[in-house]
């Protein structure tokens, strides 16, 4: 077996697994920055596999480091080795891969900072009788990034006064002017993120 090729493949496998582990949150943020629509969380179905992907990333990158250190020990002992290691066997390459993997794996915990806070916007309400607050139970949210994605999509609707989504409570509370938007529009906006409204809408508290 070619040790160099195996080491390189292990590093790339670890990097791919690390990115895939956060695939529910990375594409929506990229879409937000690029100004693309909200259906970018089509990979949210991969979320249940996150622990396994993280494990694969750690094992693969760990093996790449093991290969590097083994090669380094061979250099130190004066054994016959190649005069110059390949670029993917260098310490700098492995440090870069490791840091990028760590940033990717932890991305769901800080993805919400990329979304604008629209809850302070001013909405002209013609009549208080038109103001309604509803709760929506949502399936699939697993981090603050998911909740921020939901809030961002709902806030794009006209007449939204405030929206607060919680992945821990698996819901979103929306206050809106029903003369400008409807609960059906809100459900459609939430579902467009890749997460799903799973209950009949109920009045907010």
Of 27, 10, 23, 26, the closest CA to residue 98 belongs to 10
pTM of the predicted protein model: 0.69
Looking at the chain, the whole-number percentage of residues with pLDDT higher than 90 is 28
- The pLDDT-based confidence of 205 (bands split at 50, 70, 90) is low
Q: Which of 83, 109, 135 is the last residue of a domain?
A: 109
User: Is pLDDT of 4 > 70?
Assistant: no
Same domain, 120 and 105: no
pLDDT of residue 42: 58
Torsion of CA 100, 105, 110, 112, to 10 degrees: 110
Q: What are phi and psi of 35, to 5 degrees?
A: 75, 25
pLDDT in tens, 51-98: 888 899 999 999 888 888 877 766 555 555 555 656 666 788 888 989
User: Is pLDDT of 198 > 70?
Assistant: yes
Looking at residue 44, the DSSP 8-state letter turns out to be G
For residue 68, give its domain range: 3-109
pLDDT of residue 143: 84
pLDDT in tens, 115-169: 877 665 666 666 788 899 999 999 888 888 888 889 989 998 999 999 999 999 9
Structural domains of the chain, count: 2
Same domain, 77 and 91: yes
Spell out the residues 6+ positions from residue 150 whose beta carbon is closer than 8 angstroms to its own: 138, 141, 163, 165, 172, 190, 193, 195
User: Is pLDDT of 19 > 90?
Assistant: no
Cβ distance 157 to 185 under 8 Å? yes
pLDDT of residue 1: 46
Give the CATH number, domain containing residue 133: 3.30.70.100
The dihedral region occupied by 156, where left means phi > 0, alpha psi between -120 and 50, and beta the remainder, is alpha
Rounded CA-CA distance 37/99 in Å is 30
Rounded CA-CA distance 14/101 in Å is 7
| Structural tokens at position 50 | 């996150």
Same domain, 25 and 96: yes
User: Count of alpha carbons within 13 Å of 127, Cβ hemisphere only?
Assistant: 5
């Amino acid at each position: 077996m070619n040790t160099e090729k195996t080491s390189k493949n292990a590093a790339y496998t670890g990097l791919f697994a690390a990115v895939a582990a956060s695939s529910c949150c990375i594409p929506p943020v990229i879409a937000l920055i690029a100004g693309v629509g909200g259906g970018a969380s089509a990979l949210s179905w991969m979320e249940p596999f996150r622990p396994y992907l993280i494990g694969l990333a750690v094992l693969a990158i760990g093996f790449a480091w093991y290969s590097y250190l083994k090669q380094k020990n061979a250099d130190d002992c004066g054994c016959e080795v190649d005069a110059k290691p390949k670029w993917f066997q260098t310490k700098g390459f492995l440090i870069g891969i490791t840091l990028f993997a760590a940033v990717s794996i932890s991305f769901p915990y800080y993805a919400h900072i990329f979304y604008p806070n629209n809850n302070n916007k001013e909405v002209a309400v013609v009549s208080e009788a038109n103001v309604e607050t509803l709760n929506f139970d949502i399936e699939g949210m697993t981090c603050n990034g998911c909740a921020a994605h939901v809030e961002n999509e709902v806030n794009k609707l006209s007449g939204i006064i405030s929206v607060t989504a919680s992945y821990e409570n698996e819901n979103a509370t929306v206050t809106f002017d029903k003369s400008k938007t409807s609960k059906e529009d809100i459900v459609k906006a939430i579902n467009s993120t890749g997460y799903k409204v799973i209950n009949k809408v109920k009045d907010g508290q």
